[in-house]
């Protein structure tokens, strides 16, 4: 099993994270609150959150007698207890809550399990070259509303008020955030145990697979330049880090976000690429 991974952030603290265990792998893409809040040590609650989940999943994901969803639901209960040491969770509004998209894969016997919650992605390529992207499009649709506003905005840099967004953009972001983990909205890893039931779970015979890519949405601007199949080819040839470096170059040439339509100039970008030359445990190098 060939495994390659890389994560890049232009912030002081990366709010993406990845992990690889003996039988599994995962990525998380943290989303900060939309008002000024900070409860945990270190001053960045999202960074604290994704690191907590990394430690938890590295300990728990390889328990093959337990379903992935059960592991995640148990994790939320533990996370709430730990995070509850710093604030009253039940008093937090949706705007105050932190959350994260999560993608998890696991080799269980002859099967390859995939789970996605949020707008992170798992790209699966089978031995015939057929590519499938597993993701939740509901949040992508909401983000597109804001992205369209950003790309059409004039002189927006002079109107920035919070985390790189204008008042109008922030109002729409907050309106959408109020739809977190409710029917008719979108589901994501946060404080809701029930949200895990809304995740996408798929199973594939592992001997039918060629490659798998787990990625956060910071990778998505590369879709402007590559089909997903071509992206897998380029990552296999040039490395995950090489493609993320190229992404940063594209972003620098498009500071105004006109060609590559996106929420942020440089979002955190994380990818884990798995190759399946033969049936091995995921952690075997």
165-166/200-205 β-pairing:
unpaired
Q: Distance between CA 180 and CA 141 in Å, rounded?
A: 13
Closest to 100 in 3D by CA, of 186, 223, 4, 175: 186
Asked if the model's pLDDT at residue 280 lies above 50, the reply is: no
Asked if the model's pLDDT at residue 23 lies above 60, the reply is: yes
* Structure confidence at residue 285 as a pLDDT band (50, 70, 90): very low
Tokens of 75: 């994790």
Of 58 and 143, the one with more pLDDT: 58
Which residue's structure tokens are 């109107």? 159
Per-residue pLDDT of 107-164, as tens digits, reads 999 999 999 999 999 999 999 999 999 999 998 889 889 888 888 777 777 898 988 8
Per-residue pLDDT of 26-35, as tens digits, reads 999 999 899 9
Domains of the chain: 2-274 (3.60.40.10)
Let me know: does 276 contact 212? Beta carbons within 8 Å: yes
Let me know: does 150 contact 263? Beta carbons within 8 Å: yes
Across the chain, mean pLDDT equals 92
Dihedral sign from CA coordinates of 255, 258, 259, 265: positive
Tokens of 23: 């039988």
The dihedral formed by the CA atoms of 75, 81, 84 and 89, expressed in degrees to the nearest 10: 60
Adjacent-strand bridge partners of 112: 107, 204
Query: pTM value?
Result: 0.93
Per-residue pLDDT of 170-210, as tens digits, reads 999 999 999 999 999 999 999 999 999 999 999 999 999 99
């Amino acid at each position: 099993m060939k495994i390659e991974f890389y994560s890049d952030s232009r912030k002081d603290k990366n709010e993406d994270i990845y992990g690889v265990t003996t039988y599994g792998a995962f990525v998380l893409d943290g989303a900060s609150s939309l008002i000024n809040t900070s409860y945990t040590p270190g001053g960045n609650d999202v960074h604290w959150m994704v690191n907590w989940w990394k430690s938890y999943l590295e300990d728990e994901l390889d328990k093959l007698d337990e379903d992935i969803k059960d592991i995640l639901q148990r994790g939320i209960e533990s996370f709430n207890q730990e995070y509850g040491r710093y604030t009253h969770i039940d008093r937090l509004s949706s705007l105050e809550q932190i959350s994260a998209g999560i993608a998890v894969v696991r080799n269980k016997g002859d099967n390859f399990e995939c789970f996605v919650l949020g707008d992170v992605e798992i790209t699966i390529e089978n031995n015939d070259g057929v590519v499938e992207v597993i993701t939740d499009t509901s949040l992508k649709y909401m983000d597109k509303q804001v992205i369209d506003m950003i790309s059409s905005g004039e002189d927006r840099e002079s109107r920035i008020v919070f985390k790189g967004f204008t008042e109008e953009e922030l109002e729409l972001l907050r309106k959408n955030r109020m739809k977190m983990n409710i029917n008719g909205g979108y589901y994501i890893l946060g404080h809701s145990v029930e949200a895990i039931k809304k995740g996408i779970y798929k199973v594939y015979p592992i001997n039918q697979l060629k490659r798998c890519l787990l990625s956060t949405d910071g990778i998505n601007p590369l879709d402007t330049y590559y089909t997903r199949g071509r992206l897998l080819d380029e990552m296999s040839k040039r490395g995950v880090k090489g493609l993320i470096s190229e992404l940063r170059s594209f972003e620098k040439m498009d500071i105004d976000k006109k060609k590559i339509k996106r929420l942020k100039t440089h979002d955190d970008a994380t990818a884990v690429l798995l190759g399946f030359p033969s049936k091995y445990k995921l952690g075997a190098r």
